[in-house]
Structure 1
Amino acid sequence: MTEIPLLHTSRLKLRRMTFEDWLPYATCMQSERAKYMGGPFTTTAAWGVFCSDHAQWDFCGCGALMIEDRQTGLCLGQVGINSGPLFPEHELGWLVFPKVEGQGIAFEAATALRNWAQQAGAFRSLVSYVDPQNERSRRLAERLGATQDDTAAKPDPTDIVYRHF
């Protein structure tokens, strides 16, 4: 069983998921905010993704971490390394709740988790699968230093794949 990391940045704590995270996560996943991830999701589908994000730690040695504000303790979103049968490669993904979009939270969290993954040495590389219409995530992947990889396998044929390392 893989130990779930606890990571800190100057503003954030990236921590294991708890049941208390379910309501803000579900609210986001059931909204238009989730349109670039296959949503909006029903409650049942959102619960399945939430549980999968956590279960991947045991099954795949990676998974999701919740993004928490170190000062307030508020949950701000999620960052993760996805794996398993739905992902051709290990995927670095992020989701911030609407109230904190545009504050650099996703960049800070994704940078911390990417750096952890590189230091752990357990991942040959990471990719990010991005909907071509999701300009914010495309710019974030590029800001993270990822480069477009047109030869990579994709879970959705319309995805753009960005390779981190």
Structure 2
Amino acid sequence: MTAVPTIITERLLLRPMTADDWEPYSALMLSERARYMGGPFSVKVAWGMFCADHAQWDLFGAGALMLEDRDTRACLGQVGINSGPLFPEKEIGWLVFPEAEGRGYAFEAASALRDWARTVRRLNTLVSYVDPQNDRSRRLAERLGATLDGTAPRPDPTDLVYRHFA
């Protein structure tokens, strides 16, 4: 079993998931805003995703962390390293709840988790699977220093694959 870390950044606490995170998570996953992740999803599918995000820590030594504002304690979104049969490679992904978009939280969180993966887990590479229509995530992957990898396997043949520190 891997202990789920807590990572502190300038503005954020990247912390383990709790049952209280389900409500804002499901609101996003059931909405049209989940379209770049294959949604909107049913409650049943979203619940399975939520549980898998948490379970990956025990199964694979990495998983999802929630983004919490250090000052207000508001839950702002999620960042995670996805593994398992649905992901050809370890994938770093992010989502930010609508009220927190446009403030750099995803960049701050993804940078911190990416650095943790490199230094603590000693992962040599991560990928980000990005819907080609999701301009914000494409720009974020590039801002994180990732580069397009046209030869990488992908869960969805239409996804772009951005490689981090290969």
Q: Give TM class, smaller chain.
A: over 0.9
Q: Which residue of 2 aligns with 1:68?
A: 68
Where does 1:1-165 land on structure 2 (aligned, <5 Å)?
Answer: 1-165=1-165
- Give the AA of the match of 1:86: L
- 1:123 deviates by 1.6
- Could you tell me how far apart the structure 2 residues matched to 1:92 and 1:136 are? 15
Per-residue CA deviation, residues 64-85 of structure 1 (Å, 9 max, x unaligned), is: 0000000010100000000000
Per-residue CA deviation, residues 96-153 of structure 1 (Å, 9 max, x unaligned), is: 0011111000000000000101111432310000000000000000000000000100
- Could you tell me how far apart the structure 2 residues matched to 1:29 and 1:100 are? 16
Alignment RMSD (CA, Å): 0.6
Per-residue CA deviation, residues 11-40 of structure 1 (Å, 9 max, x unaligned), is: 000000000000000001101110000100
For this pair of structures, how many residues does the alignment match? 165
Q: Unpaired runs of 5+ in structure 1?
A: none
- 1:3 deviates by 1.0
- Could you tell me how far apart the structure 2 residues matched to 1:138 and 1:144 are? 10
Q: What SS does the aligned partner of 1:5 have?
A: coil
- 1:159 deviates by 0.3
> With structure 2 as the length reference, what TM-score do the two structures score?
0.98
Q: What SS does the aligned partner of 1:163 have?
A: strand
- Could you tell me how far apart the structure 1 residues matched to 2:121 and 2:24 are? 32
- Could you tell me how far apart the structure 2 residues matched to 1:61 and 1:85 are? 15
> With structure 1 as the length reference, what TM-score do the two structures score?
0.99
Per-residue CA deviation, residues 36-66 of structure 1 (Å, 9 max, x unaligned), is: 0010011111000000000000111110000
- Could you tell me how far apart the structure 2 residues matched to 1:82 and 1:121 are? 14
- Could you tell me how far apart the structure 1 residues matched to 2:158 and 2:120 are? 31
